[in-house]
């Protein structure tokens, strides 16, 4: 029987790529947890209490002790439930690269894609498209195996890049943009299919039409306020 690690709670929002990262990590590890769905327009007192700094999801609460920031939580999960499905590599240099690329996705890719899709100003939007394509090309070059974590292993970079595999195609559909194509980025495109078809990932993705609807509304609100 598995060692008892106590109570695990997760505060998330169904459509959030950051909250889904944590769910996928917990389920890859086989950790039992209780999930609390938040309403970001009406945040719960518990969410404010547990994440007073950023007041954002996800928040993981383990035996009453809260943690915020998805990449920080992923490393915590890996260090706490260390015997099953490693999320980070073992060697310090490989671990450092995994941290570097996870941050690259958060700090470069996601802001570029958001700029390309949801900026009112045409010039800014074009700049966002260019930056997105550059970022995707960099990831295309970095991907050496089926997954970023290896031939058979989903690692922290895969989990972080889930946004590119699932949310980016939904954004493309919602706003009529084409960034991640099979022609331009064959390895990354194939990775996106493999990643979203992994049983643990698949089970933890939101409903695609709802996500597309969310991005359509976001796009409409931006083009309306031009």
User: What residue ranges bind its own copies (CB under 8 A)?
Assistant: 53, 62, 65, 67-69, 72-73, 75-76, 79-80, 92-93, 95-97, 99-100, 103-104, 138
Q: How far is the CB of 67 from its own copies (least distance, A)?
A: 5
The DSSP letter of residue 116 is H
CB 125 → its own copies: shortest distance, Å? 23
Which CB atom, from 28 or from 68, has the smaller least distance to its own copies? 68
Q: Peptide bond before 98: cis, by omega within 30 degrees of 0?
A: no
In terms of C-beta density within 10 A (0-12 exposed, 13-18 middle, 19 or more buried), how is residue 88 classed? Answer: buried
What's the angle, vertex CA 4, arms to CA 47 and CA 198, rounded to 5?
A: 70
CB of 80 to its own copies, least distance (A): 5
Q: 103 vs 144, which CB is nearer to its own copies?
A: 103
Return the number of the residue (63 or 225) whose C-beta is nearest its own copies. 63
d(C-alpha 119, C-alpha 121), whole Å: 6
Supply 138's token pair: 């960099």
Q: Is 147 in a helix, a strand, or coil?
A: strand
Select 75 or 172, whichever has its Cβ closest to its own copies. Answer: 75
**Nearer to its own copies by C-beta: 23 or 102?**
102
Q: Closer to its own copies at the Cβ: 46 or 138?
A: 138
Long-range pairs for 187-193 at CB < 8 Å and ≥24 separation? 187/140, 187/143, 188/136, 188/139, 188/140, 188/143, 188/164, 191/143, 191/146, 191/147, 191/148, 191/158, 191/161, 191/165, 192/164, 192/165, 192/166, 193/165
Task: Round to the nearest angstrom and report the end-to-end CA distance of the chain.
Answer: 59
CA gap 11, 163 in Å, rounded: 19
Q: How far is the CB of 205 from its own copies (least distance, A)?
A: 26
- To its own copies, the closest distance from the beta carbon of 72 in angstroms equals 5
Least separation, in Å, of the C-beta of 140 and its own copies?
13
């Amino acid at each position: 029987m598995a060692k008892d690690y106590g109570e695990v709670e997760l505060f998330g929002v169904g459509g959030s790529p950051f909250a889904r990262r944590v769910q996928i990590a917990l389920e890859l590890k086989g950790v039992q947890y209780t999930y609390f769905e938040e309403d970001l327009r009406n945040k719960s007192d518990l969410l404010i209490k547990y994440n007073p700094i950023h007041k954002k999801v996800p928040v993981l609460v383990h035996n009453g002790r809260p943690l915020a920031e998805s990449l920080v939580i992923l490393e915590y999960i890996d260090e706490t439930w260390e015997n099953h499905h490693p999320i980070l590599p073992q060697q310090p240099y490989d671990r450092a690269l995994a941290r570097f690329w996870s941050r690259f996705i958060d700090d470069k890719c996601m802001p570029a894609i958001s700029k390309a899709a949801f900026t009112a100003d045409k010039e800014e939007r074009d700049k966002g498209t260019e930056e997105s394509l550059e970022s995707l090309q960099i990831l295309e070059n970095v991907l050496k195996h089926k997954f970023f974590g290896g031939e058979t292993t989903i690692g922290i970079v895969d989990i972080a890049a889930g946004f590119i595999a699932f949310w980016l195609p939904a954004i493309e559909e919602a706003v009529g943009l084409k960034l991640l194509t099979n022609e331009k980025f064959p390895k990354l495109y194939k990775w996106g299919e493999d990643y979203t078809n992994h049983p643990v990932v698949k089970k933890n993705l939101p409903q695609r039409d709802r996500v597309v609807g969310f991005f359509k509304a976001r796009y409409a609100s931006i083009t309306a306020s031009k």
